[in-house]
Amino acid sequence: MTISNWNGSNRCAPAAVAVPRDVAELRAIVRDTSTYPSPVRALGELHSLNESIETNGTAVFMTHFKEIGTPIGGTVTVGAGVRMIDLKNELKKHGLQLPVVPEIGNATAGSVACCGTKDSSLGTRGRGQISSTVVGVRLIDATGTDTHVTNPHELRVIRSSYGLLGIIHEVTFEVEPRKKVWYDYQRITLEPLPRLEDVLGDADGFLGFLLPYRRELIVERRQLAEDRRRMTLRGPRLTRAHGPRPLDGLKLALRTFAWRWGARPFNTLLHWLPKRFQRVVLDAWIAVLERGGLRLFFMKLLTRFESYRADAMIDFNRPVSSYFDFTFWAFPVSSWSRVVPEYLDFCDAFRRQTGFRPALPTEVYFIRHDDAALLSFSADEDIFTLDMVNWSDEEPAYWAAMNRSFCEFAAERGGRPLLNQTKGLTPLVAHRLHKRTNAWSVLARERASRDPDKRFLTPFLSDLLP
């Protein structure tokens, strides 16, 4: 059986596949090394973007662990197989949400509890990543023991364990009342480069779409509605404040549609065209997006609107032919003025050398300082990301080569990766990262201590750890 991740960019053929129905079966799988060979790898919705999904041993799908408990005392406990978008819909019935909302709703509770995620956080309360909202997990360790972890020090390691310390089957999250967010869109030229604080403006966070070959940025600013109303009540801007408008729901629906389908809306049509015409159509679509299509959509159609933040989560159901591929690197905000111009030059240089460029804009997230996970990408200060994005099946050799070059670029400039979403990671790049912090060594020691027989250690993760 061959297993593929969500967009087909990585595959593996495990020796065994298991779908346990309960904790007892899960414990038996971990203990039975003859029927279920090592390494054992727990899998959710397969939204990882690199080799982290791969195992030649046993793949364990947590499909049956989908129970959602009743929220109580500011927390909710769920099975590891629960998708974030399903949890969002259940919490909505109680007027609640998670304090950090991931963009990809198909990520599962078990994965976000122990892996890094790409979340655009809001506010200044030290919550930059969804794993920080995890206050408890139950997992099956390498001995087959069901262990309950609530200690903050232990959780800090678990949040960056990437499945190396056991198979999580239950997660407890903090919850909070649902919050409305005001979305506003701006186009910003990058020549001259603006200060990052000017890009953020009065917002609590943002997601930017960077067009490196046109040197401009379209930014979606996100401001908590309660903060915005407080600001408008201070003076003459009072008349500009208002609550949700009748069009807000339609605009949110347009945004959701664009996130799911806008990357490549005519993919089915392309399959009927000769190969030489496919390239012409794709080039034309890129030109439309960059020379006005994105500005028209964001600045004229969406402009600004108000919505509950949790409702912006996207359901990327499989299979969809228009899925895209991306990679992740985070950089300290203090490096903005140096890294962004060099990134623009990097993109231009790679295109000159190879003729290749990513088809879609680079995503730029603003994420708050958060040290709650051992390998947090924002452990020292607020960060911005540079996430190259491309169509998943477009010139894969060049795309892979660009990712490898980008890893070198990012590692040299203080960037931090995600072990499940950064493409092109190599032991050499990881070695450079090890020198910057001892967090990697701490994880390696914890793994060796808790799993000396390497029950959960996959080749990919083994190559990256010191």
Which band of pLDDT confidence, cut at 50, 70 and 90, is reported for residue 278?
confident
Domain spans in the chain, listed from the N-terminal domain onward? 3-61, 75-178, 180-423
In the predicted structure, residue 242 carries a pLDDT above the cut 60: no
126 band by pLDDT with thresholds 50, 70 and 90: low
CA distances from 421 to 208, 395, 405 (A): 18, 20, 16
Amino acid identity of 128? G
Q: Is the pLDDT of residue 233 over 60?
A: no
Of residues 271 and 407, more confidently modeled: 407
* 154-192: pLDDT as tens digits: 999 999 999 999 999 999 999 999 999 999 999 999 999
pLDDT in the model for residue 348: 98
Class of domain 75-178: alpha beta
Peptide bond into 417 cis (omega under 30): no
Q: How far apart are CA 465 and CA 416, in angstroms?
A: 14
Identify the pLDDT of residue 240.
41
Enter the CATH code of domain 180-423.
3.30.70.2520
Binning pLDDT at 50, 70 and 90, where does residue 33 land?
very high
pLDDT of residue 319: 61
> Do the strands 40-43 and 58-61 form a parallel or antiparallel pair, or are they unpaired?
parallel
Q: What is the mean pLDDT of residues 228-253?
A: 63
For 410-420, the pLDDT digits (tens) are 999 999 999 99
User: Does 180-423 match 75-178 at the fold level?
Assistant: no
Q: Which amino acid is at 399?
A: W
Nearest CA to 218 among 227, 226, 210? 210
